[in-house]
Chains A and B, each alone.
Chain A
C-alpha cells in the first residue's frame, strides 16, 4: 500500500509561504506580534528615560539650594558649576518638567497601552491572522523611531530641550526669547507630529481590524473587554490626534516661518494677531480625550485580568461596554475644565463642570463592577492580579481627586499646584502604569513563551504600591499648601516654609520607586531567556489567544477559529473538568456537569 505524503497544512503552510530574512522577521516586520514587541522594548526604554528625568527633578525639589549629586558629569547647558558643586539650572529644570511629562505621555504610556497591546491582542483575541493593514502597522512603529531620536537629541542642542511644559502653552512655546529654548522646542514639536502620524496609522488599522476581521461567531458582545477598550481608544485617537498634529504644525510655523497663530506680540512688543487661547482650546480638545486614551485600555486589561484572577465572569459585561462608550463620548465635551483659570464665561464653566461630573457615573459603574467581579471570587493573587487590584484602588483615588478639580471653585484654589500633580499620577501611574505592569505579567508568557518570575513580580508589586503612595499621596497635601506644580526653588516663599521634609521624603521614595523598576527590568529580560517555559494557557483563561501556542506562530491560526461563547466564561456551571470555557470550545464537546442537560 502506498503511503500518502501529507500536504503541509495550516500554520506550516503559512511558515513555508513566507520565508523571511532576519531584517524582515525582526526589524521591518509586518507581523503584529513582532511589532508589538518592538513597541514594548521602545516604550520600556522611554519609561526608564522618563523616570530618570523625574528623579533628577525630584532631587532639585527636595534640596533646591544644594548642588546636584553627580551634577559634575552634566554639561554646562544643564548645570552651573560653582566652587562647591554643580547646581541645576532653572532652564534645565524646566526641560526636565516638560520632557518628563512629554516622554511619559507620548513615548512611553500611550504607545505601551496601544502600540503594544492593541497590536498584540486585537488579532489574537479576535481570531485573525494579522492586522488589516500589516504594512501600515510596520510604518506606525517606524514613525515612532524618529520621534524618539529627535526627543533625545533635543537635550543636546542650543538652549536645551523644550521647556514650556508638556502642555506647550503659547506664547511660551512659540517665542524663544521667553524660555531661551528654540531648537529643542522645534525638535519636540516635530517629534510630536511623528507620534501623531504613528497614532493615526495605528488607529486606522485597529478600527478596521476590529470591524472587519472578527472570527466567525465573534459578535460585538462576545469581544473581550480589552478589545472593546482598545477599539474605542482607537476611535478617540483617530479623532483627537489630528487636532494635536495640526496644532503642532501651526506652532512649528509660528516658530520658524513667522506666522502668529498663537503669538499675541513679538519680542519687540509689537502686537500680532495670535491667540494663546486658541492653542489651549486645540491642545485640550486633544488633551482630554488623550486622558481617556491613556486609561481606557488600562480598564480593559484590568477587567480581563480581574475576571481570570477571580475565576468569575466580568460583572455586568454589557454595562462595562456602555460605560467605556459613555466615557469616550463625554471625554470629548469636557476639555474646558482644564481652562477654568484661563478666562471663561461662568456659564460655560458651569457646563464643563457638569459634563465632567457626569464622567464619574460610568467610571463608578466600572469601579463597582470590578469589585463585583472580585466579590466572593476564587482570587488568584499572582503578580498580574495584584497589579490589577492595585489599579482599581489607585484609580479610585485618582478618580475622586478628579471630582475635586471638576468643581470650578475648588479648581481655582488648587489650579497649577501639586494637587494636580498628585491627581495626574494617581491616574497615569497608579492607573495606567499599574494596569500595564499587570498586562505585561499576564501576557508575557504568550508573547515570549516564558513565564516571568512570580516572586520577583510580587516584590515588584509591593515595592511599587508602597513607594508609589509615599511619593504621590503627600503631594495632595503640599499642593493644598500652595506648592506650585512647576516651581524650581520654593525656598523663597514664606507660605512653603514647612514643606521641606515632606518633599525630601517624597524624593527618597521616588528614588526607591525608580530603583524598583530595575527589579522589574531584570525579571523581564531574565525571563525572556531564562524564564520557565510557558504552557499555552498558564492562567486558565478563556479568550482566544490562550488557545494557540506560546508564543503564537506567524499567522496565529492554522484555521480561523469559530467562537461559540462570551469572553469571560469562568466557573461555568456546564463544565466540570475545568473552571473555564474557551470562547472557541464547541458546545458539543464540552464535558457537561453532572445533572446538567
Chain B
C-alpha cells in the first residue's frame, strides 16, 4: 500500500511537471521571436553563386480609378497627428502613384525547390501612430523586430490562422520586441487595438523570394535561382493575381501585374475574394494564393 500511495503522489507531481513542460515547449515560437533562433541565429548567409541566379522586377500597374482614401481622425493623439502635413493622415489600403499600386506583396507561390535559412531580422516600426511598412514580407522563422517610435502605448495584436498569434504591448518609445512566425501564411494581419486605424500585413513564406511594391508600384526580387515559377501578387483590397515567370541566370526578368481597379472586394485575409466583372464571377480562395 505504501508503494501504491507513493506512486499516486509521484503521478500527481509528474502531471504538474509535464504540464509545465508542455508550456515550455510551446514557448519555442516566442523564443525564436526573441531572437534566440531564426534569422539571427544563422551566422552567415550562404554564399550565392551569381551565375545561378537572376532577378525578377516589375510594376503593379493600376489602370482604373483609384478610390479616394479616407482621412484618419487622429485628434485623440495630437503628437501623432502633428507628424503629417496639412492634408493629415490618410488610410493606406490603396496607394496609387504615377499609375503604380503600392503595398502589394509579390512572392513565388510555387516552383521553389530549395531555400536558404532565414537571415537577419525584418523590422516593423510604429511611428506617428502608423505601421511602417504597411505591408511586409518575412521568411518563416525569421525574426521580426517591432519597434515603437511613438512615446505612447501601442499594442500589436497578430491574428494569424496557421501560426501562433500574439498580443503584446509597447508602452512608450524606444521599445523593441522580437517575434516570428513559424510557418508560411499569406497574410498575417497585425493591428493596434488602441488605435483602430493602425493595421499592417505580414506575408510569411518559406523562402526569401518576395518583395513589396513601393511608391510607384515597382518591386524587385533578387537572387532567385534560375527556373520557372508561379508568382503571386497580393493586395489587401484587390486580392491575388498570379502569373508564370521564368528566371534566367544572370538576367533580370520583367513581370508586370495589371490591376484594373474593378477587382474591388472585401478584406481578403481569411476569406475568399469574389470578383464580379459583368456577368462573370471569379472566386479566389486562400488556398489558391
Contact = CB atoms under 8 A, between A and B. Distances in A.
Interface of A: 23-24, 28, 65, 76-77, 80-84, 87-91, 135, 138-139, 142-143, 145-147, 149-150, 153-154, 156-159, 176-180, 182-184, 187, 190, 267-268, 488-489
Given A143-B12, A145-B13, A135 B175 contact: no
Contact of B164 (A156, A158, A190): A158
Contacts of B23: 153-154, 156-158, 183-184, 187
B17 interface: yes
Contacts of B167: 91, 176-180
B9 interface: yes
B168 A89 contact: yes
B85 interface: no
B153 A489 contact: yes
Interface stretch (B24-32, B104-112, B214-222, B275-283): B24-32
Contacts of B34: 76
Interface in B137-184: 153, 155, 157, 159, 164-175, 177-178
Interface in B19-42: 19-20, 22-24, 26-27, 29-30, 34
A74 to B, nearest CB: 14
A150 B169 contact: no
B16 interface: yes
Contact of B2 (A24, A154, A159): A24
22 contacts: A23-B6, A24-B2, A76-B177, A76-B178, A77-B30, A87-B171, A89-B169, A89-B171, A90-B171, A139-B8, A142-B9, A149-B13, A153-B16, A157-B20, A158-B30, A158-B164, A159-B30, A159-B166, A177-B167, A183-B22, A183-B26, A267-B165
A83 B151 CA distance: 13
A88 B153 CA distance: 12
A49 to B, nearest CB: 16
B64 interface: no
Contacts of A89: 168-169, 171
A12 B16 CA distance: 39
Nearest to B9: A142
B165 A176 contact: yes
A209 B22 CA distance: 39
B26 A157 contact: yes
Contacts of A87: 171-172, 175
Nearest to B158: A177
B19 A153 contact: yes
B185 to A, nearest CB: 14
Contacts of A84: 174
Contact of A90 (B13, B16, B155, B157): B155
Contact of A187 (B20, B172, B173): B20
A267 B159 contact: yes
Given A149-B17, A177-B167, A82 B175 contact: yes
Contacts of B27: 156-158, 183
Contacts of B270: 268
Nearest to A20: B2
User: Which 3 pairs between the two chains have the least Cβ-Cβ distance?
Assistant: A180-B167, A146-B16, A157-B23
Contacts of B178: 76
